[in-house]
Amino acid sequence: MSAARKTVALVAITLATAGCLPASATTEGHAVSDLWTIFLIAAAIVGGLVWGLITLSIIRYRRRKSDTSSGEAAQTVASHALPLEIAWTTGPILIVLFLFVMTLFALQRIDAREAGGINVQVDAFRWQWRFTYPDAGVTVTGTRDVIAEMVVPVGEPVHITLTSDDVDHSFYVPVFLFKRDAIPGHPTQFDFTVDQPGSYGGQCAEFCGVYHDRMLLTVRAVTRPEYEAWLTSQAGAAGSPGASGPASASPAPGATATPVGSASARASGVPGSSAAPSGSATTSGATTP
């Protein structure tokens, strides 16, 4: 294949895939990707229509050699083309209304509260995350060396209460197609249900200070028995010296300078990664800074 053809193929593939979202890992995320597809189709229809009419006009009404007129084309004044005027006013209004209603439906699906499942309190702080399981008395606090990992049962709703200890942060797991701000003093609640077992990397998505980049996190979805075994191991670890129960979980504010994250912890935090991190990362994730 020649260089020119390769370039054309590359540009075509880039354009064709530029609007694609990654497949969502949660039930709620499907509402987002469905909505995205609807917007994309609407945009493609409008774009196709506009470009088609422009191309048609350029070719069909181009100036020909036989044309000896002064150059000005016939002008279509709005008052002379009432049907046209009505069409290009109502068309866009209907499209926007349709997209607005579809967005409301999608929001309803995303914000739906489901029965059953587990509760997790998520606290963002400069510069890590704390995940508290109030029903089990387990707390996982990320440190500057080991990012926090939230372990959840796959296929069950996870009820999150999100807040921040200091400044605005944002809970963001890219493959969940979902992001929500953590605002001090204003807890927010949302649910998600992870469809497939795996480890999903996330990060703070609100610039919150010099070490904002340290605010990585992982959500690991496992089977119910694995989840319960993990909870038991965490509850056991919390009782031993140097491990975190809720009381000893508070981070050192303004913690100092070394970069966050061991290589393995970071590897498990790669968005979309499906490799399950080792048990040792989980355990050390629960220790105090």
State in angstroms the smallest separation of the CB of 168 from Cu ion.
8
State in angstroms the smallest separation of the CB of 28 from Cu ion.
22
Query: Quick one: the chain helix, strand, coil %, rounded to 5?
Result: 40, 25, 35
State in angstroms the smallest separation of the CB of 112 from Cu ion.
27
Q: Closer CB to Cu ion, residue 29 or residue 142?
A: 142
CA atoms of 55 and 49, how far apart (whole Å): 10
Q: Closer CB to Cu ion, residue 155 or residue 187?
A: 187
Q: Closer CB to Cu ion, residue 202 or residue 277?
A: 202
State in angstroms the smallest separation of the CB of 246 from Cu ion.
21
- Do residues 197 and 154 lie in contact, with contact meaning Cβ atoms separated by under 8 Å? yes
Strand order in the sheet with 198-204: 148-153, 216-222, 198-204, 169-173, 178-182
Q: Closer CB to Cu ion, residue 169 or residue 220?
A: 169
CA atoms of 275 and 16, how far apart (whole Å): 29
Binding site for Cu ion (CB under 5 A): 169, 204, 208, 215
Q: Closer CB to Cu ion, residue 96 or residue 210?
A: 210
State in angstroms the smallest separation of the CB of 79 from Cu ion.
57
For 235-246, give one letter per residue: b (16+ CB within 10 A) or e.
Answer: eebbeeeebbbb
CA atoms of 36 and 38, how far apart (whole Å): 5
